A and B are shown apart, each in its own frame.
Chain A
Amino acid sequence: MSKSLIPDPIAQGLASGWSHLDASTLTQDRDFDTDVVIIGTGAGGALAAELLSKAGLRVLMVEHGAFYSSSDFRQQERWAYPNLYQDGAGRKTKDQAIGILQGRTVGGSTTVNWTTSIRTPKGALAYWHEQFGVDFADELTPYFDKACERLSISEWALTPNANNGLIQRGCEKLGWSYTIIHRNVNGCANTGYCGMGCPINAKQSMLVTTIPTALSHGATLISRAQAWQLQWQGDAVSGLLVHPVDAQFQPNPAIAIRIKAKHYVLAGGAINSPALLLRSNVPNPSGRLGKHTYLHPSVICGALFDEDVKGAMGAPQSVYSDQFVWPSDPQAMGFKLEAAPVHPVLMASKLAVDGQAHADLMAQFNQLAVTIALLRDGYHVEAQGGQVELDSHGQPMLDYPLTEYFWRGVRQAYLAMAELQFAAGAKAVMPIHQQAQLYSSLDEAKAAINALPLERYQATVASAHVMGGCNFSADPANGVVRPDGRHHQLANLSVLDGSVLPTSLGANPQLTIYGLTWRNTELLIEQLRKA
């Protein structure tokens, strides 16, 4: 297909005169002055940019990733992962026991996520009220409505692909609950490449919605630039130091971009936002900065079917099951069941076998379905998340301990996934664990799963959701920011991203971040106008 047949709103916008600087082209220092600087262009930062620029404020966006668009995207993982993901999709926890998929491109993770849009679960809202003194139970609803309208979020109307269909079929057979997923798409062609950047701009990511609006309202975007440090004095931030990055997104400290703003918005996502504040040595009287970082650590179970599954094709996620996410037993770790798209690099690198066995499984690539269980962290004394630290280069590392409580949840998750897959007609299932094999009956799988040694490195554990590290709380002793996102100690600093969440969600986070950011940005605009 010719390049010209697919309209590219980014290319058109740039041609119309949008203000964009690719910082990797800089050969000398630069200074900027603006009303509001926003660090990060994902679900929080970009939505804030749209609202603030429409309110007439001068907005400057800073993004570590590149300004790629549909003209650049390739439906190839070997291009997408290094160019669109944090650390080339190779981000790991400090002990390398958990792989973390997180976007690093203009639009952030929204450019590469799988479009699943879920309102904040009631269980999370109730817990926040009880533990953090923040009652969002009804308050966020109108903002979810606005976000759904803005981003064309609606229930997926097409038949789920076979990889998701198995969840629906298995749940129906077992009497488990399931939900058809709401997706932020408009004109989706059901191709299945959401994770590599939508090739037809159907996904209503920040890249093709709020960022174009902000730029059309006069905002400036600096891409390929890593926000390095906030300068502050007393109770106010006085400047932001930014460094350009090179072609592999490594910072170049020899060149400085200095930004002065009336207000600073931090929206680099959990892990990156706390890291910037740690580098800046900001006040941290609660001691919670960088701590309680949550991942929805997820485990995987593969299933072989006689018929083709072709898990690479079609909407990556269209059905989930919350049968186990909010268990009545307070000692049980809840988990959400979803599908994951089956592309070769993702699959080959996660399968826990080698050599001929690996080749044999890959040869059945199109018959392989993949179910994931996302464990809900943050609600138990043994699930207090991880801690962001800085390495000797000043870059973040997440130290995330895996506890007995977590491993008990993993065993239950493996058992549930195997039962679901067999109920859906799988001929064999295989938890992705170094000592697991293909099991051809549920009884065999149950016996094997109950005997599996569950410890780090043995089980493949992955995450696509980062949350926390700058949690909100009504009480400054219990959080980094206020419920409206304003920093408890630095008056002209807001945090508007997933790092403000005080727990994980038990749900994919993008819609929660949209709703919360919309509310808090409206409040910020009011406050800035009064000031």
Chain B
Amino acid sequence: MNRRQFIKTGLALGTAAALGVTLYPVVTAESSTEPAAQGPARTVLLALVPALLFGALPKDTHAAQQQIAATVDAALAFLPYLPQRQQHDLQQLFVMLDTELLRLALAGHLTPLADLPVAARLALLHGWRDSFIALLNQAYSGLRELLYGSYYGNPEHWAPIAYQPLEFRSYE
């Protein structure tokens, strides 16, 4: 994150705070398994998977879309296993990234993530990685672990890495 982005982030976070929005409110939030809560999460994750997994996704667009969708489904299915505290934190992050003003706070621009080129989405994540703000460092680490884990947890994605585990019975 450069100085200009840093200042914009600071300004927008200040605005968000002034509007009564906090990143990590202590509330009894809905479980992320509930459809209403999945909307922002799905939108954000669908936008970030192609950036993080650029190079791993197949060149064929249809096949890539299928893998992206499967990865996001797996990530959303995993979230309810996290402590409620972490679920709330992630849910807040997804809502912010899916809301125009709050996206300005976190991403430094008003453009929806899905409308950004893939390289710009990755640059956004790396901005968080290199930020001085610990919450953004945590958001970067948390999202990448979630999405890489969700992608490489799927046996259908193992052919390129030649991982062939033994199966002791039929699992599905």
Contact = CB atoms under 8 A, between A and B. Distances in A.
Interface of A: 1-3, 6, 74-79, 81-82, 87-88, 90, 92, 95-96, 99, 191, 193, 199-200, 248-250, 312, 343-345, 347-349, 351, 354-360, 362-363, 365-366, 391-393, 395, 397, 434, 456-457
Contacts, number: 137
A259 to B, nearest CB: 24
Interface stretch (B12-20, B34-42, B135-143): B135-143
Nearest to B155: A76
B152 A345 contact: yes
Interface in B111-145: 122, 125-126, 129, 134, 137-138, 141-142, 144-145
Contact of A95 (B134, B150, B158, B160): B134
A347 B161 CA distance: 11
Given A87-B83, A312-B165, A355-B122, A392 B144 contact: no
A397 B81 contact: no
Residues of B in contact with A, size category: 35 or more
B145 A349 contact: yes
A329 to B, nearest CB: 32
A90 to B, nearest CB: 5
A250 B85 CA distance: 11
Given A75-B168, A359-B56, A397-B85, 11 more contacts: A78-B153, A90-B78, A92-B86, A95-B138, A345-B149, A345-B152, A355-B52, A355-B55, A355-B122, A392-B26, A393-B84
> What are the nearest 8 A-B pairs in CB distance?
A359-B55, A78-B153, A88-B81, A356-B55, A344-B152, A365-B161, A348-B152, A348-B148
A392 B138 contact: no
Contacts of B163: 312, 343-344, 365-366
A363 B153 contact: no
A88 B82 contact: yes
B51 interface: yes
A27 B50 CA distance: 44
A92 B161 CA distance: 28
B81 A82 contact: yes
Given A356-B54, A358-B52, A397-B85, A457 B169 contact: no
B86 A392 contact: no
Given A78-B74, A95-B134, A354-B144, A359 B53 contact: yes
